[in-house]
A = this chain, B = another copy of it.
Amino acid sequence: MSSSASSNPSTLSYEQAGVNYDLIDPLKVAAQRAAAATAGHLAGHGFSEVKASRGESAYVVDVGPFYLASIVECLGSKALVADEMKALTGKSYYDSIAQDTIAMAVNDLITVGATPLVVQAYWAAGGSDWFGDAQRAQALVEGWKKACDTCKVAWGGGETPALAGIVEAGRIDLAASCTGIISPKTRLSVGDNLAPGNAIVLLASSGIHANGLSLARKLVERLPQGYLTEVSPGLSYGEALLAPTILYSPVTEALAAAGIAVNYSANITGHGWRKLLRHASAQTYRIHTVPPVTPVLKFIQQHAQQDDREAYSTLNMGAGFALFVNAADAQRVVEISKAQGVDAWVAGQVEEGPKQVVIEPIGVTFGTEDLQLR
């Protein structure tokens, strides 16, 4: 992420917050190559992979009557904020944390056009005693169930290991796997129909969601009252961070029910708006309207002294999900999203041109040198 580094020495960047992609990336590349080499096994079962899904947010297999999509996703470090806030307020936030975890999986799975069907829980605690806090455990179960209800997925089961010596004492490593189908097969959305003239519709985020938390946690050291510093009157920084991630599958399912084709989608998570460059094709994404920035994100940008370029390259800045649709459908997409309780904006369009996202209202452009995901 070096290309997004600010020249302001007071700026708190993502690297300073402790994640070093230079160390992880060689392994990722080796793993991706090895993984790609296993695709041929599917032929022995009479199936084949959808090659374009390699490098996308979910992996897709053609199993005949429909496509099968699957994924595993982790929450990341957001649970640490819940732990700190519990110590400060006595309240358990694990119902929100549960929703965040499912959102990480479901919001990725739906990008390829899948209907999520089954979620499995992976809750790895630092010791058996984690599960002995009945209030917290109950909040986790209830939040998980509620998120499944929202997404209309079956909670299949899962694992609740006690991993002393691997997971830190008093902590929990939360992840979710999700399996879904793409049916009818025309719902497959890996960018084949992404083209100049498409409209870009952005769906509102609820706050930081579950990406950028390393930065957000690091920032606490700079705040006069830490997590209890007010973001807006009556709303602490910690509470604001813990707003649960929006689940977007009700929107994508409603679009399918309305017969609206989605040509491509991007879940705006790590790397912020650079995720709009996710698809491999060379096209320009011109943004004429940016959503209002959620107060907690504005607060982070301000206190981390990030310029717009740094902020939009790291955080979702009010837009949690992007849909690339035919221009004629754009306004209906906004209406359908709003009917599902998710604010939305026709924010821009796809144009012929070099691969870049041009965010006109803030004068920021990200190019291919800013995002290496594959």
User: Contacting A168 at CB < 8 Å: which of B27, B145, B166?
Assistant: B166
**A71 contact from B23, B39, B120, B152, Cβ within 8 A:** B120
Give the interface centre of A24, A59, A73 by most chain B CB atoms within 10 Å: A24
Most chain B CB inside 10 Å of its own CB: which residue of A76, A80, A124, A127: A124
Q: Are B154 and A42 in contact (CB under 8 A)?
A: yes
Stretch at the interface among A128-136, A193-201, A309-317, A353-361: A128-136
Interface residues of A in 118-172 (CB under 8 A from B): 118, 120-122, 124, 127-129, 131-132, 134, 137-138, 140-142, 144-145, 148-149, 152-168, 171-172
Instruction: Let me know if A181 and B72 touch, CB within 8 A.
Output: no
Task: Check A1 for interface membership: any CB of B closer than 8 A.
Answer: no
**Does A70 interact with chain B (Cβ within 8 Å)?**
yes
* A79: B residues at CB distance < 8 A: 166
| Cβ-defined contact, A74 with B156, below 8 A | no
CB of A179 within 8 A of CB of B70, answer yes
A29 to B127, CA, bound (A): 18
Determine whether the beta carbon of B171 is less than 8 Å from that of A166.
yes
Given contacts A118-B59, A128-B21, A153-B38, contact A165 B166 (CB under 8 A): no
| A328 at interface, CB cutoff 8 A | no
Are the CB atoms of B54 and A149 closer together than 8 Å?
A: no
Contact partner, A161, options B31, B76, B122, Cβ 8 Å: B76
Nearest B residue to A177, CB-CB? B177
Q: A65-B64, A165-B77 given as contacts; is B41 within 8 A of A154 (CB)?
A: yes
Q: Which of A36-50 contact B (CB under 8 A)?
A: 37-39, 41-42, 44-45, 47, 49
Q: Which residues of A contact B (CB under 8 A)?
A: 18-21, 23-24, 26-28, 30-32, 34-35, 37-39, 41-42, 44-45, 47, 49, 54, 59, 61, 63-66, 68, 70-74, 76-77, 79-80, 115, 117-118, 120-122, 124, 127-129, 131-132, 134, 137-138, 140-142, 144-145, 148-149, 152-168, 171-173, 175-177, 179, 181
Given A18-B128, A38-B153; 7 other pairs, CB 8 A cutoff? A26-B131, A38-B145, A41-B149, A47-B117, A54-B157, A72-B122, A166-B168
